[in-house]
Structure 1
Amino acid sequence: MASIQRTPASGQTLNRLIQRGRSLLEALPRSLSAFLISFTILSGLDFFSQLVIEQDFYFVDYLQRIFADIDPLIDIGFAPEVWLAVIGLTLGTLIIVISIAAQSIPKITELYMQDWISLIYVWFLVLSGTHILYVKIITELGWPSLGSTLLNLYIFLPFAIITALPYIFYILKSTQPENVVSQIYHRQQLIIHALAESGNESLFKRSSYVQRWQKKLLDSLNQLDDLLTYVDFKEPQADIIQAISLLLQNYIFHKKNIPTPFFQLTPAVCSDISFKTLFDQFEQIETQQTFYEQKCLRLLGNAYIRFLDGDEFDLASLCGAEMCSITDATLVSKNYYLLNLIIIRLNTMLRFAIKHGIKHNEARNLYNLAFHYRRFIECLIQNQQMDTAQQSFHYLRLYGNEIYHLARTSPALYFIVDVFAAEMKKILILVHQKNWSEQSQRELLEEMLLLDNPPEAHRRDRHRDHSRDQRDQAPNFNNGVRLIQMGLGLFYLKHRYPDFAQRIANDILEDADVLGLELFRRTVSYNCDRLRQAQPKFWEDTDRGNVNLYYSPDIEMLGDFEAMLFNEDALKYLVNKLDHPHS
């Protein structure tokens, strides 16, 4: 009974010893730790060989029978030179490879100094070369050791010669950018897992201990960011973006198991390049425990801007896609502080995409980011985050209106307003399918109808001169948005929401105040013809396939929608508005 009671205590003691040993090794420089490991292994093997060979006389007799024709005093004069050649070949090649790789891969030396395989192997070579010198000295002094001699000449030396070339190939492969990214990623994963499984919260009460772990996390992320700047090939750049995203998702999953004291801000965080300008937010970051999340999101945001400037459309789009993946992980973990950070980052990315679009009259980045913004809102809807989804929908509409005004100087951006309308239409359809309340659906619909609010500008122009000629010459503004809104109206009619369809029709009727009755009728008829002729697929390909934004599968309801626009009451309303524009 007593022995059963002692077993858990013994296990706990062993675990504490292992934990202390790991902590000691982590506190030492990894090169020194590798030296101690290699020295311990070689010393142990040397002691074991002497114990077995020199104390077991039967084994010695067996060796003498095998090596009957060989002088027991083996000549080892050649061995130091052979070891010197092996060490020189290996270390020389290693230095050349690392030096060349350092020109295109930043901090590759630091990465090498963290590789256990390389450090232990190099220390093994150096210590084995030292070991043969030790054997030679004691032999010349008249204290020959058969065990040490056989161990070095017949085990260490053949092993070193055989593994030298594979080790060189290993180093060459490990300096490839994709492998460097993989090494950094796996090392960061191990750090996150170690933090989550530490279980000893008392260690994290020491600021120096916390600072060391935080520095490990941030240094690896900074190395990925530096690597993104130096590497020119798209594949490793994509790997880096995905690595940052996956690290953040994994961190979100394990964060609940990390001791709370770890999230205090130490100089390792405050002095990091991503936080030096956030001095006023340090208290908030520490309270919300989001320094790692903010670091990863800022890196993704900076990468997006970098890809914009380099016209790397596919890589810029990948940044938006990974933001959606992070959102999924955030919603699963219910980390709502992080959800607000993602919204801010997406809006910031959208702002830079708008600036890039204006400067270069280029719509492609906005086209792709609008798609990811809609996916983000859909994630919120799927997880019943109604308030956050409505807020994000409002932001999408605000940016859409801003893009419309800016498109006067960059005409390529007019199409993006249609894209925003199409994404809003998909969101409204999803909200309807999720059976949100009519009040919530109506509020979102009103937001979408504000997307064509720019007619206010034309209305102000018309109030300056009320002549019928000028009204007839008014611009044919943004038919694309109207087409998409009409398609949404058809959806509502088909699913028996006539009030929503009528609200869209009433909003379209307001265009007559700008265009005049005759031009308005022609415009609506033209839009109806376009809806009838629209096909599900467009005849050209884009980054998001060839789906036609203006296609509506509910075209059979078009007659009913036209009746809403051209019934007798609607026409009387239009005539009255045109005859009394200030009423």
Structure 2
Amino acid sequence: MAFAVSLVTLALLDSGAQVVVAHLKPTAPTLFPWPVAGTFDTSFAPEVWLAVIGLTLGTLIIVISIAAQNIPKITELYMQDWISLIYVWSLVLGGAHIFYIKVLQDLGRQPVGSILLNLYGLLPLAILTALPYIFYILQSIQPESVVQQIYRHQSRYMRQLAVILKEGFSYQPWFLRRSQAYLIAGLNQLDDLLAYVAFRGTQAEIISAVSELLQDYISCKPNYPAYFFRLSGAVKGDIAFKTMFDQFSQIEENHTFYEQKCFRLLGNAYVRFLEEGQFPLASLCGSEMCAIAHRILSRGDDILLDLIIIRFNTMMRFAIKHGSRHNEARNLYNLAFHYRRFIESLVHYQRPHLTQKCVHHLRTYGNEVYELAQSSPALYFIVDVFAAELKKVLILVNEQQWEEQLQLELLEEMLRLDNPPELRHPQNGDRPYGKSTGVRLLQMGLALFYLARQQPQFAQRIVADIVEDAAVLGLSEFKRLFHQNCDRLRQAEPRFWEDTDRGNANLYYSEHTEQLGDLQTLVDRACQALEIAQSS
């Protein structure tokens, strides 16, 4: 196609030059006398054309060959660059044009228009644009540019598919296989590029490109007919689906082959970043999952929501394993933040069932982290982080004025955090059983919020759970710790004096400390009731 465009353009220019010369000869005979026409010296032109073509093509071959060592399938991308293809074919045809002129001159003809076009038009233009074209090629093979090219080609193809298939394009097996192969190939190319490139900026661009492609696909997906989601050999033979043979029928039924591929790619990238200690990039994977979830929620696709919940839980499992093995809390700290953002999106889109489901998952993982923290002490702080995230979800749910019973059920999940059934009474000098001090501080802060909102029924449920610690600690020790926590809440500042990946906000700060008196009154009443029960 590029050759045809270049050839047609040159033919039109040549014909135009002949017409112009033919038109000027009668009106300005002194300008083009035949003897002068015979003095045109074109002997140097072929050598100059060959030099320009050799410089350009030689540089092009060297640059592409070197880039191919680190950027997979760069040649395929170059073959899709119409600017480069048209330019190269124009150079080649320009050189062929001067040889055509030389043949005509040897035959005794003097194509004045063609000579003027080549010597004073095409040749100077080729010389002047050779260096800018080389710079253009050097810029286009940069990894960031390659990622953007892949994204643009894939996104444009999705939109074109939506237009074609929406117009009632009939089922064609060859077309289905080619379309699915092109979509999968683009993701594989990004995945290969992620493995080759060592620069974190480029890796971040790749993760963002995969996320944006999936979001674009979700937007175009309603325009695709049902037959488009039949799995062709291009999908079944892809490496990501080799272990999913038993799920092919379900994937076809749910129309999720592309989403499964993207989630696998993001999940594998997340594991890789965990192992390499790339904390910002690992956090980026969670951030992009939140962006994808927001797009899914805007489309109202429950099947994809279930998929992304599974993917979030899988990432949480990987982060817990990594944190336990390396006594490292940073990845869990960041992922808990993204999980909470996802749950907040569910709240904003009024998805109570899925909100309960995700809160339960987060609480379950928090209890598991608490157990693992006995051998990896750095994880104790993550239990507090999970409690803080659940606290924010409960505050949002309350502000959204959800049903009281539903709020109580969500509150029960938070109260069960850090309280798995395996916990035991202290033995042989172990640290005494009781809720983690940080978790209790956060629960007390939540109770203060409910009291400030004039909703004592929620605060009373929190107090009832807090007072359960007295059964193990004893009333005197429990009261001492409770008043100590009250003092910590009074003295807490909104900002911490150190920085983290998420800034320096203080997890334990509460802006409703004026309600501490009411909270203490509720606790005193509960303690009195406990004393009466114990004495009887």
Same fold at TM > 0.5 = yes
The residue correspondences of 1:195-210 to structure 2 (distance < 5 A) are 195-198=161-164, 201=167, 203=169, 205-210=171-176
Match for 1:99: what amino acid?
S
SS of match in other structure, 1:249: helix
- Partner of 1:241 in structure 2? 207
Q: Conserved in 2, the CA contact under 8 Å of 1:458 and 1:514?
A: no
Query: Cα 1:64–1:91, aligned 2, differ >3 Å: closer, same or farther?
Result: farther
Query: Cα 1:64–1:87, aligned 2, differ >3 Å: closer, same or farther?
Result: farther
- Partner of 1:438 in structure 2? 404
Identify which of 130, 137, 159 aligns with 1:164: 130
Distance 2:28 2:325 in 1: 83
Q: Could you list the runs of 5+ residues in structure 2 that have no partner in the other structure? A: none
RMSD of Structure 2 on Structure 1 (CA): 2.2
Distance 1:70 1:472 in 2: 108
Distance 1:210 1:472 in 2: 64
Query: Cα 1:90–1:64, aligned 2, differ >3 Å: closer, same or farther?
Result: farther
Match for 1:46: what amino acid?
D
Q: Conserved in 2, the CA contact under 8 Å of 1:98 and 1:108?
A: yes
Distance 2:136 2:225 in 1: 37
Distance 2:27 2:146 in 1: 50
By how many angstroms is 1:142 displaced? 3.6
**What is the TM-score normalised by the length of structure 1?**
0.87
Query: Cα 1:341–1:188, aligned 2, differ >3 Å: closer, same or farther?
Result: same
- Partner of 1:108 in structure 2? 74
Query: Cα 1:574–1:408, aligned 2, differ >3 Å: closer, same or farther?
Result: farther
Q: Conserved in 2, the CA contact under 8 Å of 1:204 and 1:261?
A: no
By how many angstroms is 1:387 displaced? 0.7
The residue correspondences of 1:218-237 to structure 2 (distance < 5 A) are 218-237=184-203
Q: Conserved in 2, the CA contact under 8 Å of 1:502 and 1:564?
A: yes
By how many angstroms is 1:67 displaced? 4.8
**Pair 1:66-2:24 in alignment:** no
**Pair 1:520-2:486 in alignment:** no
- Partner of 1:264 in structure 2? 230
- Partner of 1:26 in structure 2? none
Distance 1:428 1:477 in 2: 19
- Partner of 1:38 in structure 2? 6
Distance 1:441 1:557 in 2: 21
Q: Conserved in 1, the CA contact under 8 Å of 2:38 and 2:110?
A: no
- Partner of 1:21 in structure 2? none
By how many angstroms is 1:204 displaced? 5.0
Identify which of 84, 100, 118 aligns with 1:152: 118
Query: Cα 1:147–1:264, aligned 2, differ >3 Å: closer, same or farther?
Result: farther
SS of match in other structure, 2:10: helix
- Partner of 1:482 in structure 2? 440
By how many angstroms is 1:199 displaced? 5.1
Distance 1:574 1:385 in 2: 43
**What is the TM-score normalised by the length of structure 2?**
0.94
SS of match in other structure, 1:131: helix
Distance 2:227 2:73 in 1: 30
Query: Cα 1:264–1:63, aligned 2, differ >3 Å: closer, same or farther?
Result: farther
Distance 1:64 1:305 in 2: 79
Q: Conserved in 2, the CA contact under 8 Å of 1:113 and 1:119?
A: yes
By how many angstroms is 1:576 displaced? 4.8
**Pair 1:357-2:323 in alignment:** yes
Match for 2:10: what amino acid?
L
Distance 1:349 1:39 in 2: 54
Q: Conserved in 1, the CA contact under 8 Å of 2:419 and 2:435?
A: no
Q: Could you list the runs of 5+ residues in structure 1 that have no partner in the other structure? A: 1-32, 463-469
Q: Conserved in 1, the CA contact under 8 Å of 2:37 and 2:110?
A: no
Distance 1:483 1:43 in 2: 81
**Pair 1:414-2:380 in alignment:** yes
Distance 1:258 1:477 in 2: 52
**Is 261-270 or 146-155 further displaced after alignment?**
146-155
Identify which of 503, 508, 527 aligns with 1:570: 527
Q: Conserved in 1, the CA contact under 8 Å of 2:166 and 2:224?
A: no
- Partner of 1:284 in structure 2? 250
Q: Conserved in 2, the CA contact under 8 Å of 1:196 and 1:259?
A: no
Distance 2:166 2:379 in 1: 56
Distance 2:270 2:101 in 1: 60
Distance 1:424 1:200 in 2: 44
**Is 382-391 or 274-283 further displaced after alignment?**
274-283
Match for 1:555: what amino acid?
T
Identity of aligned residues (%): 59
Match for 1:573: what amino acid?
L
Identify which of 261, 276, 285 aligns with 1:295: 261
Distance 2:142 2:29 in 1: 50
Match for 1:493: what amino acid?
L
By how many angstroms is 1:533 displaced? 1.2
Identify which of 506, 509, 512 aligns with 1:554: 512
SS of match in other structure, 1:358: helix
**Is 227-236 or 132-141 further displaced after alignment?**
132-141
Query: Cα 1:53–1:563, aligned 2, differ >3 Å: closer, same or farther?
Result: closer
By how many angstroms is 1:336 displaced? 1.8
SS of match in other structure, 1:132: helix
Query: Cα 1:96–1:221, aligned 2, differ >3 Å: closer, same or farther?
Result: same
Match for 1:335: what amino acid?
D
By how many angstroms is 1:573 displaced? 2.1
Q: Deviations over 1:401-448 (max 9, x none)?
A: 000001111100000000000000010010011110011001001111
By how many angstroms is 1:456 displaced? 5.0
By how many angstroms is 1:329 displaced? 1.1
